[in-house]
C-alpha cells in the first residue's frame, strides 16, 4: 500500500527565493534516487486572495510504509533536511495511507 508524505513549509524572510527554490529542486532529484521513493513533487502555494507568503510543499509517494520508515533515517534525508532548515521554517509533516475500496476499520 502506497504512502503519501506531505511536507509543508515557509521560506525564511532572509532567504533568497531563487536560492531556496534551487535547493528544493536539488532535494527533489536526490530524494527521487532513494529506494522505495515512487515520486517527488515540489510546489509553491498558488492561492487566490490573502495567503501566507512563500508557502512551499513536498509531495512524496513511497511504495509502502517500510520505504517511508527507511527514508526517514537515511543520510541523504538528514543532509537535505539540514540544508532545508537553513532556508525554511514552520515545517508541518503529514503521512497518509491510501484508502482501499472498502472502509478501513479504525481503533
Whether 66 shows a pLDDT value over 80: the answer reads yes
pTM of the model: 0.83
Between the alpha carbon of residue 75 and those of residues 56, 79, 92, the distances in Å are 23, 6, 21
Over residues 11-63, the pLDDT tens digits come to 998 999 899 999 999 999 999 999 999 999 999 887 666 655 558 999 999 99
How does the average pLDDT of the chain come out, rounded? Answer: 88
pLDDT at position 97 = 86
- φ, ψ at 50 (rounded to 5°): -75, 130
Q: Which domain holds residue 12?
A: 3-46+64-96
Q: Residue 60 pairs with which residues in a beta bridge?
A: 5, 40
Q: Residue 67: left if φ>0, alpha if ψ -120 to 50, beta else—which one? A: alpha
> Does 70 fall in a domain?
yes
CATH number at residue 33: 3.30.70.100
Q: What is the domain count for the chain?
A: 1
> Does 54 fall in a domain?
no
> Does 29 fall in a domain?
yes
pLDDT at position 53 = 52
Q: For a pLDDT cut of 70, what percent of the chain falls above it?
A: 85
Amino acid at each position: 500500500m502506497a504512502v503519501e508524505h506531505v511536507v509543508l513549509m515557509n521560506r525564511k524572510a532572509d532567504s533568497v527565493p531563487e536560492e531556496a527554490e534551487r535547493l528544493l529542486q536539488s532535494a527533489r532529484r536526490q530524494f527521487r534516487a532513494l529506494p522505495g521513493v515512487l515520486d517527488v513533487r515540489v510546489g509553491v502555494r498558488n492561492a487566490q486572495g490573502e495567503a501566507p507568503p512563500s508557502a512551499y510543499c513536498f509531495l512524496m509517494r513511497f511504495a509502502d510504509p517500510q520505504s517511508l520508515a527507511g527514508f526517514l533515517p537515511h543520510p541523504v534525508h538528514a543532509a537535505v533536511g539540514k540544508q532545508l532548515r537553513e532556508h525554511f521554517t514552520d515545517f508541518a509533516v503529514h503521512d497518509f495511507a491510501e484508502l482501499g475500496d472498502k472502509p478501513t476499520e479504525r481503533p
